[in-house]
Amino acid sequence: MRRINTVLSAILLVVADQLIKLLVIARLKPIGSLGVINGFLRLNYVENTGAAFGSFSSHTAILSIVTFLAVAVGFYYILSGKIKFGFEYVCILLVLSGGTGNLIDRVFRGFVIDYIEPTFIDFAVFNFADILVTCGAVLLIIWLTKDCVKEIREIGREK
């Protein structure tokens, strides 16, 4: 049952990402950008051929292969039961779902569609899949750091 829920959750997140991007193509691409909250947030259509912050923009094929391998290995591990269900599991699922959404763009469009632009800081334009990857990774790092600190304290108490 956990495997089915995992697959359905991933599909739901990837479909949400792709539906948002289809909406962005239909509504935002023709106008380019749209102010949402003045001085804070703008929707801005960007075709990103690279990775985070546009890095590796001339290596879309390599990015696609690396992303595919990472996502395939990640899904293998969570579906095989090698990672126990819990907070870490959900974080990894978020990262893999976001990676899959952007991989679909790279493979079928040759670029990733980005559209969320914070205007209150100098920051890259990003998308829903990027939010999944970032939130999953940051929460996992916080969780693992907390877990490491807890283990270090327990070792200190044993001495």
Spacing of C-alpha 83 from chain mean position: 19
The owner of tokens 């909250």 is 37
Token pair, residue 46, equals 């960007």
Taking the C-alpha atoms of 109, 112, 113 and 114 in order, what is their torsion angle to the nearest 10 degrees? -170
Of the candidates 17, 105, 122, 130, the residue annotated as catalytic is: 130
Q: Is 146 helix (H, G, I), strand (E, B) or coil?
A: helix
Is there a catalytic annotation at residue 130? yes
Is there a catalytic annotation at residue 17? no
φ, ψ at 31 (rounded to 5°): -105, -15
Query: Around Cβ 57, how many Cβ atoms within 10 Å?
Result: 13
φ, ψ at 153 (rounded to 5°): -65, -40
Q: Is 98 helix (H, G, I), strand (E, B) or coil?
A: helix
Of the candidates 17, 114, 122, 147, the residue annotated as catalytic is: 114
Q: What are 34's strand-pairing partners?
A: 43
Q: Which amino acid is at 77?
A: Y
Catalytic center residues: 114, 130
